[in-house]
Copies of this chain bind each other. A is one copy, B any other.
């Protein structure tokens, strides 16, 4: 039994982790912490869990956690994570951090998007937890930077094609769409029901913080600096994410080669599903699952390649991938706790 804890259990990502670990046959949830709800039962915050969950929120205290948990999930805002993570590592507790604090390799890229980093050694040590692409490094990592939701949807579609040298690294575009839970549970006019409902909008055009994260990973895959035009949009649904990615194939590259590359990387992956040719994903097809669905289309005349990639932003885009990382880190079957059958309803 893997003994785990969750810091920040009262947010949408945190409570999704609570659900996954509570239902996980080989992990136990020993402790949850919450700044805003310290001392409160989780069922007071989320009455839906009454009768199924009896945890009470504690204040975060790393020393107190020593010996109680093998791994902590940090579902905290960036900056808080980089303060807490080193304390946990010092106690011998492994960490899966869901903030941006341990996703970057380049301190300047991090600082440009967020703020100066106060735990550079640990940032340097951390492994980017995109499971299908970095499994080997994840296995023995002490700390994982769990990927952002947008990066996950985009990188799973692009990295195999870049690594196999099938597409140009110039002119990449991702037109991405996210459900509202991605904005978290904090109050803001932008998440007021009447402002979101029956609307759809682009936001942070040209300057979303996930851009440098994606570009760093694309550049690693290419072995050369790659830039991406990234436009996120808000969709009036609670959960779900679709990235429509535009690229240009290298000369001579056919659709068959594209599909073969995906097969090479994902044929045996339980959570990445290449759709049959002509089919494209819907948010409802991945909701409640840890899957990433990918559909592709190539215009042979122009060489324009269209990739459509869908995930559940709270699962493969956050809590689900975090659990997948834990499964890898503790050498159990990667699907454990993530393989329930789901319907589109």
| Interface positions of A (Cβ within 8 A of B) | 12, 15-16, 18-19, 22-23, 46-53, 171, 173, 175, 177, 180-181, 185, 187-189, 191-203, 205-206, 227, 229, 231, 233, 235-240, 242, 244, 246, 270, 273, 275, 279-287, 289, 291, 295, 297, 299, 301-302, 304, 306, 308, 314, 339-345
Contact = CB atoms under 8 A, between A and B. Distances in A.
Work out how many copies of this chain go into the complex: 4
Given A194-B12, A203-B280, A48 B343 contact: yes
A19 B342 contact: yes
A19 B289 CA distance: 13
Contact of A51 (B238, B270, B283): B270
A319 to B, nearest CB: 10
21 contacts: A12-B194, A19-B340, A46-B343, A47-B282, A48-B342, A49-B343, A173-B173, A180-B197, A185-B189, A185-B194, A193-B197, A195-B344, A198-B239, A198-B240, A198-B284, A199-B237, A199-B240, A199-B344, A205-B280, A205-B306, A227-B302
A23 B280 CA distance: 26
A287 B48 CA distance: 8
Contact of A236 (B53, B235, B270, B291): B235
Given A240-B200, A297-B205, A345-B314, A191 B189 contact: no
A301 B49 CA distance: 34
Nearest to A344: B48
A208 B202 CA distance: 23
A286 B173 CA distance: 26
A175 to B, nearest CB: 4
Nearest to A12: B345
Contacts of A344: 46-48, 195, 199
A341 B18 contact: yes
Nearest to A207: B297
Nearest to A201: B282
A206 B306 CA distance: 8
A201 to B, nearest CB: 4
B343 A16 contact: yes
B52 A342 contact: yes
A293 B218 CA distance: 33
A238 B194 contact: yes
A190 to B, nearest CB: 9
A310 to B, nearest CB: 8
